[in-house]
Structure 1
Amino acid sequence: MDPTVGDSDGGHVRILSSTDIDETRQLVADVFCDHGLKQIGADERLNYHHVLIGGAAVEFSIMNYGARVSVEPGPLESFYLVQIPLEGVDVVLADNSEAISHKGCASVHSPHHHLRMCWSADCKKLVVRVDKVALERQAVNLTGGALRGSLEFDLAMDVESGPGASWGRLAASFVDEIRRTPSILKSPIVAAQFEQLLMTSLLEWQPNNHLTAFREQQVVGSPRYVRLVEEYMEANCHLPITLENLVSISGVSGRSLFAGFRKFRGISPMNHLRNIRMSRVRSELETPSTESSVTEVATRWGFYELGRFAAAYKSRFGEYPSETLKRYSE
């Protein structure tokens, strides 16, 4: 039987499904890596279903097998993996560590650990695949220096309370938004912001062997690097800008950059960039073309949640964007 593969919105969201064990293994291998897949319950009918949401550094999957299966990829090598059960149970073995993963406890896997899993028949997961090179580069940006040894996370993530729960909600909200509006991934600005936020919060919130370095990095107070980054933002705000870009321009670590902006400007670098882009929106609304609309101008500058954008715009400029456009269109 041929597998079912469906695409939505240019391939950003794909639907994969199959009832054949070999086809299922190949479909999953194409998304993640080669692995062993065995059906444990002989009396159960395999019914693999997989919603794949693609990105550059971060990729989301909502998947289930519909039967008890053993999955053994071994070392992941090129990516980190966060698995959040939405239903059912998964017994996870990573080297010599074991965790029972369920709705209240996710699992986080580092690339060099030997991974083996046993999914229950009713197990359904939100799986977040994070590129190894991108995440470790983000870690270097946050600490301001090369990592000493490999980056390793604690296996278990509490997704019922605390920072783990916040990270799980953040990932789920991104998935929900992308499934509602897949076209937002066509904006490199929006996609890069999603990925940067998820990677930074994972490094900061999930216990790992470099967490102390992330939290203890000293802030170097120098107005010059703040001005350099501001000038870069002003000149390039129409382009995708990431934390990596800003760190490279500033010459300081990501943590120092954030601390410097808070100290000297009272906001984070990305909020400062948002303000610059909001000012560009206002400038365009004040000089509208015949076909101009608030939606068109706002989305061109990376503002896709129009309700929140309108509220933030009014807070800053004292009027809604529609009011600005109306005044200058009359």
Structure 2
Amino acid sequence: MSTLLQHYAQLQSQDLRYVREHVSEVLCPHRLSLAGGGQSLETALFYRQGDSLGFGRLSYGAQVTIEPEPFQNFYLLQVPIRGKEEIHLHQGMYASNAQAASLLSPNQVFSMSHSEEADKLFVRIARQGLEAHYRQYFGQTHRGVLEFFPIIRFDEPKGQTLWRLLCWQFNEASEGLMLDSPSMRACVEETLMTALLELLAHNQPLRDERRQAAPAAIRRAIEYMEAHVTEPLVASDIAKYAGLSTRSLYAGFRAGLGQTPMVYLKSLRLKGVRQALLEAAGGSASVTDLAMAWGFGHLGQFAADYRAQFGELPSQTLQGGARRLRSGATHN
């Protein structure tokens, strides 16, 4: 993990004032001080900004104390991958390390201390984006500030699930292509925000979703998918059109079709690509061109999904169509 986000270096410095100013620009204004004499900073900051999420990694190379101004516009998820940090809130002190992450909410007054060897991953989560996702996902307005319990334990089942998701997302942010595509970036961000709302303790009520979504609403969702199948869609787009919360949309698809709406959408797109490959036989179109046209940006995953659904690689479909075309021309 020591190489995560290495392509997104923002800062490497020993100058305390410069470090404080630069980190303030990425996160928020704060006081930064060395906790012991005879120390010097060896700060390294890496950061990749998305739409609602920013993925970062930060180490100071010294024991430091941080006193931020209360967040106004974002949440901060912090995951030490080496060393530890202490979070001091009015309700007490919380120790955070590789087995226990922290999630800080807007308007909280707190301070932090980092051990000398501390190296942490963090996700900056836009408050506006998370609150909007809460409203759409649950189909209700949040009451006051959405606030999470500050500690996430990775030795518990829900924490383990979140840790696996974070590992994948940080690796993708570091080396992958999904955050380059607006539609796939939206899916990545919605997935993490949904996981936070479903897995973690917070101060908001959860709507009772035992009522099934009406079949007519699910039909509207399917019709919308079919009409916009090549466009960048996320679950919240589909739910809004169908007049459902995102959570109800998922529940309705599971009950009626035994799969999620995004799996259903992927299947529609794969069928569209297959038909396009058959029609393109003998032409100049490539598998890559057609896959991209139908909304697939990760070509390796696309090929694997295509083979799982149709029993052959997309290149084999294109070649087979070309052979059939030549055979037909020969017989004519």
Partner of 2:310: 317
1:34-45 pair list within 5 angstroms? 34-45=29-40
Q: 8 Å contact 1:92–1:101 — kept in the other structure?
A: yes
Seq. identity, %: 33
Aligned to 2:94: 99
Q: Look up the SS of the partner of 2:206 in the other structure.
A: helix
Instruction: Give yes or no for the alignment of 1:20 onto 2:12.
Output: no
- Shift in CA distance, 169/221, structure 1 to aligned 2, threshold 3 Å: closer
- 1:77 positional shift: 1.0
Q: Partner of 2:255 in structure 1?
A: 263
Counterpart-to-counterpart distance in 2, 1:195 and 1:233: 20
Q: CA deviation at 1:291?
A: 4.3
**CA gap 1:290/1:24 in 2 versus in 1, 3 angstroms:** farther
For 2:131 and 2:231, how far apart are their aligned partners in 1? 24
Give the aligned residue type for 1:184: M
Residue 290 of structure 2 is aligned with which of 285, 297, 312?
297
1:273 aligned residue (259, 265, 270): 265
Change (3 A) 1:238 1:329: same
| 1:57 CA displacement | 0.5
Query: What aligned pairs does 1:105-184 form with structure 2 within 5 A after superposition?
Result: 105-181=100-176, 183-184=177-178
Paired residues of 2:291 and 2:297 also in contact (CA < 8 A) = yes
Q: Higher mean Cα deviation, 13-22 or 116-125?
A: 13-22
Residues 161 and 302 from structure 1, CA distance in 2 versus in 1: closer, same or farther, beyond 3 angstroms? farther
Deviations 1:16-74 (A, max 9, x none): 22110111011111111111111113312201101111100011101101011111113
Q: With structure 1 as the length reference, what TM-score do the two structures score?
A: 0.90
Which residue type is aligned with residue 276 of structure 2? Answer: E
2:230 to 238, 245, 268: 238
Question: What is the Cα deviation at residue 220 of structure 1?
Answer: 3.6
Could you tell me which residue of structure 2 aligns to residue 85 of structure 1?
A: 80
Q: Which moved more, 1:77-86 or 1:15-24?
A: 15-24
Q: Is the 8 A contact 1:38 1:71 kept in 2?
A: yes
Counterpart contact for 2:231–2:295, Cα < 8 Å:
no
Q: Distance in 2 between matches of 1:18 and 1:172?
A: 27
Choose from 173, 184, 187 the match for 2:181. 187
Asked if 1:70 corresponds to 2:62, the answer is: no
Distance across 2 between alignment mates of 1:240 and 1:324: 25
Q: Give the letter for the 1:313 counterpart.
A: Y
Higher Cα radius of gyration: 2
Residue 106 of structure 2 contacts residue 145 of structure 2 at CA under 8 Å; is this kept in 1? no
Q: Distance in 1 between matches of 2:33 and 2:267?
A: 52
Quick one: distance in 2 between partners of 1:25 and 1:219?
51
The gaps in structure 2 that reach 5 residues or longer are: 324-332
- The alignment partner of 1:133 has SS state of helix
RMSD (CA atoms): 2.1
2:287 counterpart letter in structure 1:
V
Letter of the 1:28 counterpart: V
Take 1:263 and 1:60, find their aligned partners in 2: how far apart are those partners? 35
1:130-178 Cα shifts (integer Å, max 9, x gaps) = 1111111111122211112321111110123311122122122112123
Normalized against structure 2, the TM-score is what?
A: 0.89
The residue number in structure 1 matching 2:240 is 248
List alignment gaps of at least 5 residues for structure 1.
Answer: 1-5
Quick one: which of 179, 195, 218 aligns to 1:201?
Answer: 195
CA 1:293–1:221 in 2, change beyond 3 Å: closer, same or farther?
Answer: same
Deviations 1:209-237 (A, max 9, x none): 22x515x3333431111111112112222
